Chain A
Amino acid sequence: MAEPVKLFGVWASPFSWRVETALKLKGVKYEFIEEDLTNKSDLLVKYNPVHKKIPVLLHKGKPICESLVILEYIDETWKGISILPEDPYERAIARFWAKFIDEKCNHALWTACWSKDNEQEKAIEEACEFLKTLETQLKGNKFFGGETIGFVDIVANFIGFWLGIIQEAVGLELLTVEKFPNLCKWIDNYVNCPVIKANLPPRDELLAYFKARQQPPTGPKY
């Protein structure tokens, strides 16, 4: 009998979504435990005492934290579709871009969406530079992973889905088809990819979620 798998997350979070997508790609059954981040559960604090954040994957009673760490754990633990490339060089490239997207891009994009005036202008400029880098990296490929989605595509989910919704919620036009045709094509491929499409949170609910907030939810990693 398979050991139970639990995932502590938030329906609106791009970070717990990454883990759900990876589990679904591998065909792993799991129980999703919705956290209220304004009132964190004792279990969440027990399983992630260092950061007290979602997502947390619980497997065989042991917690794994940090979405990128969890993705690699899932890939190493369960057979089936490979999330990371087999070849060590391709794997290094994938890890490089995942780090770039997670640390540089997402942070700049988040700031660009939620800041005001001068800070926003600066953030938009920075975000555009990072998006240009990704635009070039795509090189007209269907996905960052090539013909099929992979590690980098999963990690780029904020750009793939959340960004468009937040842009609409705050009235910002950052990622346009004129400036970033490759990225826009990638987004189209992404949201229509069956495993992604079946797993995305409802667009209108997510839009309402972000519109309802004058302030952004606490920081990029919530």
Chain B
Amino acid sequence: MAATTTSSDVKLIGGWPSPFVMRPRIALNIKSVGYEFLQEQLGSKSELLLKSNPVHKKIPVLIHGDRPICESLVIVQYIDAVWASGPSILPSDPYDCATARFWAAYIDDKWFPSLSGIAKAQGEEAQKAALDQVVEGLVLLEDAFVKCSKGKAFFGGDTIGYLDIALGCYLGWIRVTENMNNRKLLDEAKTPNLVTWADKFCSDGSVKDVMPETDKLAEFAKVLMAKFRAPPPN
């Protein structure tokens, strides 16, 4: 009989605005696992973070017992395997699992860079091209949703799964980008299923307390952009 996990057994090093940190938080919520959330401050990295993730020095890091696990999707898979008695996060069928992993890799390797590319685009034309690219990616994901969900509410079926978490964590930032650029990225015309999915995802019990409010995120984005656009020291 597995011992009950007390929240002191599980720590998560992260930050509330980070979509990557949101992933393990959602996963832990799905499994009803309590954890201590250790928030990093913007601009500095704690001793614990540097010690737990010496290779990348990045959040999130899950510390289970005294063992660190790094990389958000690696952590989500770990959580799914360790707390196996809870609702499943990865599909049980190997082909469905491969499909979820494929799209999660696409989201992180191709689609997310296009989203962060919007802020870096110089000039109106470049910005429009960057926004178009993001929408193109979402149209592909709309198609993936139809195939994966098989008529149900989420990529994972009746409940939130791996691919829902992989994409859903970016919804706050998508909204901030839409407001900043005065343009819908997730819209009824091109991605109707994703629009419906987004609402269901954000109001799900395992998500709603960890999804930051758009206003708060927008304020944070301003702070972040000011930091990056600051002129380099002479």
Tell me the A residues contacting B by CB distance below 8 Å. 50, 59-60, 62, 64-66, 68-70, 72-73, 76-77, 88-89, 91-93, 95-96, 99-100, 133
Contact = CB atoms under 8 A, between A and B. Distances in A.
A76 B102 contact: no
Contacts of A133: 55
Contacts of B37: none
Contact of B81 (A68, A72, A77, A88): A88
B57 interface: no
Contacts of A99: 71, 74
A92 B75 contact: yes
B42 interface: no
A76 B78 contact: no
A96 B71 contact: yes
A62 B70 CA distance: 32
Interface in B28-69: 55, 64, 67, 69
Given A64-B102, A65-B102, A133-B55, A72 B78 contact: no
Interface string B60-101: 000010010111001101100110000000000011011001
B143 to A, nearest CB: 10
A92 B74 contact: yes
Given A91-B78, A92-B77, A64 B69 contact: no
B105 interface: yes
B102 A72 contact: no
B101 A72 contact: yes
A69 B77 contact: no
B140 interface: yes
B112 interface: no
Nearest to A64: B98
Given A60-B95, A89-B69, 5 more contacts: A73-B94, A88-B82, A89-B67, A96-B69, A96-B74
Nearest to A95: B74
B220 interface: no
The A contact surface, by secondary structure, is helix
**Ordered nearest first, which 7 A-B pairs have the shortest CB separation?**
A88-B81, A76-B94, A92-B78, A73-B98, A69-B101, A95-B74, A64-B98
Contacts of A69: 98, 101-102, 105
A62 B81 CA distance: 26
Contacts of A68: 101, 105
B55 A92 contact: no
A89 B140 CA distance: 33
22 contacts: A68-B101, A70-B98, A72-B97, A72-B98, A72-B101, A73-B98, A76-B94, A76-B97, A88-B78, A88-B81, A88-B82, A89-B64, A89-B67, A89-B78, A91-B78, A91-B81, A92-B69, A92-B74, A93-B69, A96-B70, A96-B71, A99-B71
Contacts of A50: 106, 140
B95 A73 contact: yes
Contacts of A59: 95
B193 to A, nearest CB: 18
Output the residue of B55, B94, B98, B101 with the most chain A CB within 10 A. B98
A62 B74 contact: no
A88 B81 CA distance: 6
A62 B64 CA distance: 37
Contact of A95 (B67, B71, B105): B71
B74 A66 contact: no
B105 A100 contact: no
Nearest to B103: A50
A60 B95 CA distance: 10
Nearest to B83: A88
B57 to A, nearest CB: 12
Contacts of A89: 64, 67, 69, 78
Contact of B95 (A62, A65, A66, A95): A62
Nearest to B69: A92
Given A92-B74, A95-B77, A66 B94 contact: no
A76 B97 CA distance: 10
